[in-house]
Structure formats: C-alpha cells, structure tokens
C-alpha cells in the first residue's frame, strides 16, 4: 500500500485493493477516517496539509480536538446520529491549525460498515473552501456597508423592467417610499404618488437622454407618502440594454433630498430678506446723499457719488440673481458699464469665461464704473467714434485685465490725481490684493489690473 494509506485495522480492504488505496492517497480532497469515538485512524497527505499536522500527530488525537469550538454544537450531534443510525451528513466548519490559523472545509461524512453491516468507522472527505468563505465574508461586509450608507443617506436602489412594466422593489425602497418592506408594490401605484408635473418632467428627461444616446439621466421629483407628507427625491438612473441593444431595463437610485430642499428654501428666503434690506439701505444712503448735496453747487460730485452707488446696486443685483455665488466676469463688466454703453457697441470684451467670487465682483464693478465715468467725461466715450477694448487672461495664477481706450480726444496726464484715480489705484487695488496701474498715453487711457486668482474661481473656455 502507498505510504499515505498504511494498512491498519479500520481499513480491512486496503491490502486487497491497491487501486482503492491509490485513489485514497492521491485524491485532491482531504480524506480522514475516524473510529466511532472520533479518533483519527487513517488520513491522506492532502488532509495533513490542510490541517497543518503530520500523520503521526493526527493519529494521536480526535476530530473533535481540531474542530473549532463554535462548530462542535452542530457537528457532534450529526456525528453521533451517523454512528447510531448510519445517516450521512454534510457540514461546513473550521479546523484549527497549530499556528493559530483556521481552514474552512466542506465536509461530506459517511459511515463505514463491516460485512455484517455494523459500523466500525466514519469517513470524511474535506474540500478547502477558505477562499470562498473569505469572498462571502467580504461580500457580506460590503453589503452591510452599503446598507449602512444607504440608510444613513436615505437612499434606495430600484430597477424597472420595461418589457414587463414592473418595478422591482427592495426593502430599502419600500421603506423610503412609505410602503411595508415586504410588500410588492405595483408600478402604477408608485407613479401615482409622484407629483404629475414632476412625473411629466421625469419622463421627458428620460426620453431626451435616450434619444441623445446618453446612458444616464437625473431628475428631482416630489413624492407623496401614504400619510400625505410630501418628500423630495433625487432620481438618478442608467439605461440597461439587452443583447439586441434595445433598452429593456432602467436601474437607478432614489435619494431623499427633502432636508436639502428645505435648507435651500430657507436660504432663499434669507437671501431675499437680506437683498431687500440692502436695497433699502442703498436707497436711504442715496436719499441722504441727495439731501446732503442739495445745497451744494458741486453737482459733479453729487453725480459721481450717485453713480458709484448705482454701480454698487447693479453689482448687488447681479449677485442676487446668482444667489451670491461666483458671478460671470462678463456679466459683471456689462452690468457696471450698462449706463455708458447701453447698446453694447462701444465696449469690446475679450477673455475666458471666469466666475469670480462676490467680493471680487463688487470690486471689479466699481473699477469698471470709475473707468466708464472717466471715459464718458474725458476719454474714448466722450465722442461718437471712440472705442474701449477690455481684455483679460489668467497667467501663472494671476488675473490680468487691461482697459484700453482708442479713438477719443488726445490724452494728457492729469496735473493732480482725482478721487476716482485714487480709488482705483489705492482702495480698489487693496481690495483686490493686487495692483491697478493707470497709463495716460496720448492715444488713450490704458488701465491694467493685476490680482491673484483665488481657489474658488471657476475658469471656463
């Protein structure tokens, strides 16, 4: 007999059947025979390798001694029933190795009988399933993390079978939508709870995405729970195509965004109230200025002050429309220059689409207003033929904006700096954390603004 299956009492056929002994020795499964008490009587090399013990070690111990304690409660009754009744069984369990590690095995166990039918031992064929168990555990952990994330994020996965006209629900989706978790909800019942206007928009969005060849679509809808409460859902979905390339399923995620919507509405109301108060404040300041200058003969100063207030108000209105988010530099310039170039023919703008933060937007608006006011009084906009070119670019982390006038009266440097020039070169430069340079060239004023680009700027094409 081969060395892996030595002749011993308990394997009476081995000496007569060399072929069976060879199979026992060479099979890929771990084979172990124990007596009716569980003591090992015969093992092959593969079983020794699996449990990390030599044959001599195993023949001195029992199957119970290397079985993980957590499995004994299940394993021992099955073993005893097999010895008593001859009932074969199958069990997945862990064996303990001497180094402290474990191995998962799929054990198929049957009773070995003598010629008279009485049992004299038990044979177990063990398959190593440690890897598959690790995969199962990783999958369970992943599913648990997904469940926790979905519960925390108030979201659920859904699937719509287009051909069957049926939505496949999950307990997460039913819980999110206010149904009993185990209930199979009809698609029409689900649709009936979506706001009609939102349902129409959702359908149009899906159809438009499909026609455009886009794999995804997204829409926000209002959904009414059974108790009448309205919740906002963000529906994100992906088209699934069959082998014939026809779309037969839509798989997506529904995310409860009700709290976000409430926060947005609260913010909108606060902004509305803030904007209203700021406008009132500007109106009061303008009225006070008008009264203060009423007895003054310096009409130019009053008009200059009121013009600056108007530029500030225009910038404020623009930022209000943008909900005080970064605003387009083009819109900032156009808004500030609206009074001096109502037809948008005299100012030529050229540069990338940049969205600048509110503080920068207000500062640029005041700068453009001052330059426009000067151009209308003394520069290129004081006649019918002058032009102003405004160009800007981002270079090495800095914004460089250049205002260049042409076609106006010949320019000479002023004998003294006026308030507008000082505001540009000092106050606004300080606000920009940069520099403002005025060049009174004979052909026309050139103003160069240089400022660092902040991280919250968006730079487009």
- Going from N- to C-terminal start, the domains of the chain cover 3-134, 154-256, 261-459
- Higher pLDDT: 306 or 37? It is 37
Return the pLDDT at 60: 95
Comparing CA positions, the residue from 110, 58, 53 lying closest to residue 79 is 110
Note whether 3-134 and 261-459 share their fold. Answer: no
Return the pLDDT at 397: 85
Residues 6+ apart with CB under 8 A from 100: none
Return the pLDDT at 396: 85
Out of 3.20.20.100, 3.40.30.10, 3.30.565.10, 3.50.50.60, select the CATH number for domain 261-459.
3.30.565.10
Return the pLDDT at 315: 65
Q: Residue 380: exposed, middle, or buried by beta-carbon count in 10 A (0-12, 13-18, 19+)?
A: buried
Average pLDDT estimate for 62-70: 94
- Higher pLDDT: 67 or 143? It is 67
Q: Is the pLDDT of residue 125 over 90?
A: yes
Task: Report residue 159's pLDDT band, with 50, 70 and 90 as the boundaries.
Answer: confident
pTM: 0.45
Q: Is the pLDDT of residue 461 over 60?
A: no
**CATH architecture of structural domain 154-256:** 2-Layer Sandwich (3.30)
3-134 maps to CATH 3.40.50.300: no
Residues 250-260: tens digit of each pLDDT: 888 888 888 88
Mean residue pLDDT of the chain comes to: 81
Task: Report residue 7's pLDDT band, with 50, 70 and 90 as the boundaries.
Answer: very low
């Amino acid at each position: 007999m081969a060395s892996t299956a030595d002749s011993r009492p308990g394997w009476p056929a081995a000496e007569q059947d060399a072929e069976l002994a060879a199979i026992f020795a060479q099979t890929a499964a771990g084979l172990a025979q124990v007596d009716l008490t569980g003591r090992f009587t015969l093992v092959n090399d593969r079983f020794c390798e699996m449990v990390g013990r030599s044959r001599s070690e195993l023949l001195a111990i029992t199957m119970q001694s290397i079985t993980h304690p957590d499995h004994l409660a299940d394993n021992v009754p099955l073993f005893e029933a097999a010895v008593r009744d001859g009932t074969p069984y199958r069990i997945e369990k862990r064996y303990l190795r001497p180094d402290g590690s474990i191995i998962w095995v799929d054990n198929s166990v049957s009773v070995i009988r003598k010629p008279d039918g009485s049992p004299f031992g038990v044979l177990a064929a063990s398959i190593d399933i440690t890897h598959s168990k690790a995969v199962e555990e990783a999958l369970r952990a992943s599913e648990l993390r997904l469940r926790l994330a979905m519960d925390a994020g108030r979201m659920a996965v859904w699937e719509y079978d287009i051909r069957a006209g049926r939505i496949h629900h999950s307990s997460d989706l039913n819980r999110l939508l206010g149904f009993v978790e185990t209930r199979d909800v009809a698609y029409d019942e689900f649709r009936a709870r979506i706001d009609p206007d939102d349902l129409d928009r959702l359908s149009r969005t899906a159809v438009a995405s499909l026609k455009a060849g886009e794999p995804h679509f997204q829409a926000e809808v209002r959904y009414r729970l059974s108790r009448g409460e309205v919740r906002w859902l963000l529906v994100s979905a992906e088209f699934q195509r069959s082998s014939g390339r026809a779309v037969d399923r839509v798989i997506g995620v529904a995310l409860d965004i009700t709290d976000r919507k409430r926060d947005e509405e609260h913010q909108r109301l606060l902004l509305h109230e803030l904007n209203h108060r700021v406008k009132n404040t500007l109106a009061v300041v303008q009225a006070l200025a008008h009264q203060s200058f009423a007895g003054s003969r310096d009409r130019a100063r009053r008009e200059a002050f009121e013009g600056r207030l108007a530029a500030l108000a225009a910038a404020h209105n623009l930022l209000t429309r943008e909900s005080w988010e970064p605003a387009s530099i083009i819109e900032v310039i156009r808004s500030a220059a609206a009074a001096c170039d109502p037809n948008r023919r005299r100012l030529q703008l050229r540069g990338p689409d940049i969205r600048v933060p509110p503080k920068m937007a207000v500062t640029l608006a005041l700068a453009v207003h001052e330059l426009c006011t000067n151009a209308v009084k003394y520069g290129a906009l004081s006649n019918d033929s002058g032009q102003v070119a405004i160009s800007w670019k981002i270079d090495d982390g800095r914004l460089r904006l250049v205002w260049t006038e042409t076609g106006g009266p010949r320019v000479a440097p002023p004998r003294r700096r006026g308030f507008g020039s000082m505001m540009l070169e000092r106050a606004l430069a300080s606000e920009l954390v940069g520099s403002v340079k005025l060049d009174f060239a004979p052909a026309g004023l050139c103003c160069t603004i240089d400022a660092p680009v902040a991280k919250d700027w968006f730079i487009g094409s």
